[in-house]
Chains A and B, each alone.
Chain A
Amino acid sequence: MKINDVILRTVVKAVVFIILTLGVYLFFAGHHAPGGGFIGGLVLASAIVLLYLAYDIETVHNGMPFDFKKVAAFGVLLATGTAAGSLFFDKPFLTQAYTYVEVPIFGEKGLSTVTLFEAGVALTVVGVVVTIILSISEDE
């Protein structure tokens, strides 16, 4: 039986962008408002999972030709790398630094190495969730 999923696909096309935007927003909002690397990564992953549900694996892979195992590995490298990075500045492991800079138009903004750490977390979450779901769904 061929499933008619025109409605799902149409909705997904629009919704995925909203979810992705939300994911990115949550990721950056993390420092002062609800959000952060873990939840941001989960939202991004759920958007990708939604794409896989609506379309087939081939189509999605053409659009996003990433090996998600590598994405996860890169995330872990980034997280542990920023953690170890503080050693090079003669600071204990995992010390995070932050500063405030004046950006034109946007005004004063915070810059922090936590963002890099959180990016590592987010990438790992995206990579692992998609890897698990893909490997289970592909297993015939």
Chain B
Amino acid sequence: MAILFLAILFPFICAALVSLLHKRLRRIAHLGWFILPIPLIIFLFLIQYIPQIAEGKTLIHTYKWIPSFHINFTTYLDGLSMIFGLLITGVGSLVILYSIFYLSTKESLHHFYCYLLLFMGAMLGVVFSDNLMVLYTFWELTSVSSFLLIAFWHHRKASRAGAKKAMMITVFGGLSMLAGFLMLYVAADTFSIRGIVATLDIVSQHALFIPALICILLGAFTKSAQFPFHIWLPDAMEAPTPVSAYLHSATMVKAGIYLVARFSPIFGGEAIWFWLVSGIGLITLFWGSFNAVRQIDLKALLAYSTISQLGLIMSLFGLGSVGHYYGYADSTLLYTQASFAALFHLINHSTFKGALFMMVGIVDHEAGTRDIRRLGGLMALMPITFTIAVIGSFSMAGLPPFNGFLSKEMFFAAVLAIRDVEAFSIADIGLLFPMVAWVASIFTFVYSMILISRTFLGRFQPERLDKKPHEAPFGMLISPIILCVLVVGIFLFPNLIGHYLLQPAMASIYPSFPSISELTPHISAWHGFNMELVMTIGVVIIGTVLYKTLKSWQPLYRLFSQRYTFNAYYNQALSFAESGSTKLTNRYMTGNLTHYFIYIYVFFIALIAGYFIWSDAMVLRVTRDAAVESHELILVFVMMFAALWIVFAKGRVTAMLLNGVLGYSIAFFFVIFRAPDLALTQLVVESVTTALFLLCFKYLPDLMPEQKQRKARWSHVTISILVGATVTLVGLAVVHYERFESIATYFNDAYELAGGSNIVNTILGDFRAFDTMLEVVVLLIAGLGVYTLTKLKPRKGEADNEN
């Protein structure tokens, strides 16, 4: 299905168009109205495939990209990617609608929407790609676009710092994931995820299998803000609220979860996978909810709550991986339900957390602050916003009649079931699972209550607000209302989602199971008076008590010293790395050009001459050499004369002209040896560089005789002679070097292979076109570098305007 490829490409094309056309479009209406149809179209396009996917079909299409390296652009649509695709485009549409009213037209909207579209395309690319390298590319692109979006208000220092932190941590994880992907490639000899699943028996025996697992999990954990990498998410809240609602709660942070779900058929049976995913998930769940209670900024509270909920979903996938260990059996169904609950909660979390973020955005927009110490009593002033907050928070706390209740109950059922598993030595600490889950749920309940009561209940304090708060415009309320309708709707008709979305996604997570319809439990709101319900009732009772007595136990948080937080460690590590690398770099970057040349030449001699001597390739025989003609000898003497004279030249211009003599003589050699292309290039390059030198010399002082010590001088002479000798000897030796296969056949058949009879050009434009393309890019970067270095430096006396 080639059209899926277009669905990924579509946002990118639109992003380019937005940057080109924004001036014209802005005059007509808010730019967001032109962006809104883009995710909507993709959303509707995806929806029409739901029935097919629900029947168990998958759509796949391959574009050959770099087949020689097994890198192909394979798009793959199955149940799992369908859920994510719908989330990305669905929440995307709502967020864009919301942003139209949230962001004023005075902001640089074209940047905002351009980055947002880039992100959307990248995210679709992540979930629709089957090829690991393509997936990785899009993965890093989501980090980059997230960086740009967090730093959207880049005049604020906190925005830039938050963006940098998010980038550092997620890209660090991304790079380790790349290493993991490469290890998997070594083990499986394919970059295709389906290919790896198909050859799992061989792959899982490979020595690199476990290291690959850990590296890939690092990528997933950093992206999904799992403990202890969660520290970037609260700082990322400096982004505009639509971005927080979209990237940092509904989509990007779920990319790590997607990765875990996608790879659980591959790694699912391993004990270390189970312990890492479910263990880290549970720790994150607890730590996030525990820390959310102490926040005073509404967005920070939601950030920690997101961290905690991501941990919940992550741990559920970990518990579900037990199903892979046992294989298909009736008893397994107890454990696969954990994965089912994870998928279900994934959707539910996106609905209620999206609504909550938008609600906080509205409060921030209309009341001018997100500080809960200054807010309160907004219920009467903002009744609709209050309703949204209640629905979202109750769903988050796991109360009926909202969708969060259903998935929370299933979560309790899963942690209760895991006590009895006999694999992975779970039995020893099996009781810890339900206990941690229960305690974390109590904290979740507490912060959900804080969110509602501190904002909307209590005493209204108009004197502490900068603005006079009032209900938001209707347009801003549409998106959260739609999400709230979904929150209630999913509670009422959960099996609709269960059948059409979750069941096919279960088939992607457990591809080896023959019958998938049994994996789908019937979700019901009332399932008897069982342990799960008791736990929920306990959460409500103890949660209420804890909330009422909040003042008496909140000082507990002060016991945690600020010096030992993960943020402090991160900052220390960062400043240590900075000062350490500065010290190291300053040791050899002396600013003295002569030193740099010494490094380069010594390295060159060691590497090239060293290799030739080490491998016995330094063979000097004259049998194959052509006879030396007299005019060649004359040229050689001219060059030797010029080269020696340069060393003793008094002025820069003289030295440059002598250097020109050398260059033109080389061009002559090219002519003699019948290489007209090279001769032409050499001549023009020589002319242009001479012009460049002339320009540069204008700024340099007169050449002064260098004051050097005798020792330094002799070491320089030695290095120069060694370099000359290396080049000469290697030049003579390569004639006899026959360890590589000859590539002459390419050049003999150039006309058939590349349609050109000029060999040099077929090399540049066809055989080695990749090199040429990258060289062109490097050339551009170099040109821009020279331009920015000379043009954009601050004038003397002008302040450094970075801040």
Contact = CB atoms under 8 A, between A and B. Distances in A.
Interface string A126-140: 011101110111110
A136 B757 contact: no
21 contacts: A26-B680, A36-B760, A36-B765, A39-B684, A42-B688, A49-B688, A75-B776, A80-B773, A87-B73, A94-B769, A117-B765, A117-B769, A120-B776, A121-B764, A127-B780, A127-B783, A129-B688, A131-B787, A132-B782, A136-B696, A139-B699
Given A46-B688, A136-B786, A32 B764 contact: no
Interface residues on B, range: 35 or more
B427 interface: no
B786 A131 contact: yes
B64 interface: yes
B376 to A, nearest CB: 54
Contact of A42 (B681, B764, B769): B681
Interface in A13-67: 26, 30-39, 42-43, 45-46, 49, 53
Contact of B765 (A53, A118, A129): A118
* Most central of B696, B764, B780 by chain A CB within 10 Å: B780
The 7 closest A-B pairs by CB, nearest first: A128-B783, A98-B755, A34-B676, A114-B765, A31-B756, A42-B684, A36-B761
A21 B393 CA distance: 74
Interface in A77-120: 79-80, 83, 87, 90-94, 96, 98, 110, 112, 114, 117-118, 120
Given A46-B687, A79-B776, A121-B772, A132 B783 contact: yes
Contacts of B63: 87, 90
Nearest to B782: A128
Contacts of B757: 31-32
Given A114-B756, A129-B783, 11 more contacts: A30-B758, A49-B691, A53-B691, A83-B769, A114-B754, A114-B765, A128-B783, A131-B783, A131-B784, A132-B786, A135-B787
Nearest to B66: A93
A36 B765 CA distance: 9
Interface string B60-77: 000111111000010000
B541 interface: no
A118 B773 CA distance: 10
Nearest to B754: A96
Interface in B729-779: 754-758, 760-761, 764-766, 769-770, 772-773, 776-777, 779
Contacts of B681: 38-39, 42
A139 B791 contact: yes
B692 interface: yes
B353 to A, nearest CB: 37
A124 B770 CA distance: 16
B60 to A, nearest CB: 15
Main secondary structure, interface of B, reads helix
Contacts of B765: 30, 36-37, 96, 114, 117-118
B66 A92 contact: yes
Given A31-B756, A133-B695, A92 B676 contact: no
Interface of A: 26, 30-39, 42-43, 45-46, 49, 53, 69, 72-73, 75-76, 79-80, 83, 87, 90-94, 96, 98, 110, 112, 114, 117-118, 120-121, 124-125, 127-129, 131-133, 135-139
B364 interface: no
Nearest to B779: A128
Interface in B644-688: 676-677, 680-681, 684-685, 687-688
Interface in B407-433: none
B12 to A, nearest CB: 12
Contacts of A37: 764-765
A92 B73 CA distance: 10
A125 B681 CA distance: 12
B586 interface: no
Contacts of A112: 755-756
Contacts of B783: 69, 72, 127-129, 131-132
B790 interface: yes
A85 to B, nearest CB: 12
Contacts of B761: 30-31, 35-36, 114, 118
Nearest to B684: A42
Contact of B777 (A38, A80, A133): A80
A96 to B, nearest CB: 6
A32 B756 CA distance: 5
A43 B758 contact: no
Contacts of A33: 758
A56 to B, nearest CB: 14
B680 A137 contact: no
Contact of B769 (A53, A91, A96, A138): A96
Given A32-B758, A37-B765, A133-B692, A124 B779 contact: yes
A139 B784 CA distance: 15
A30 to B, nearest CB: 5
A112 B756 CA distance: 10
A127 B784 CA distance: 10
B686 to A, nearest CB: 10
B776 A39 contact: no
A69 B786 CA distance: 11
Contacts of A136: 692, 695-696, 786, 790
Nearest to B785: A132
B678 to A, nearest CB: 9
B497 to A, nearest CB: 36
A49 B65 CA distance: 40
A135 B66 contact: no
A29 to B, nearest CB: 8
A87 B62 CA distance: 11
A92 B64 contact: yes
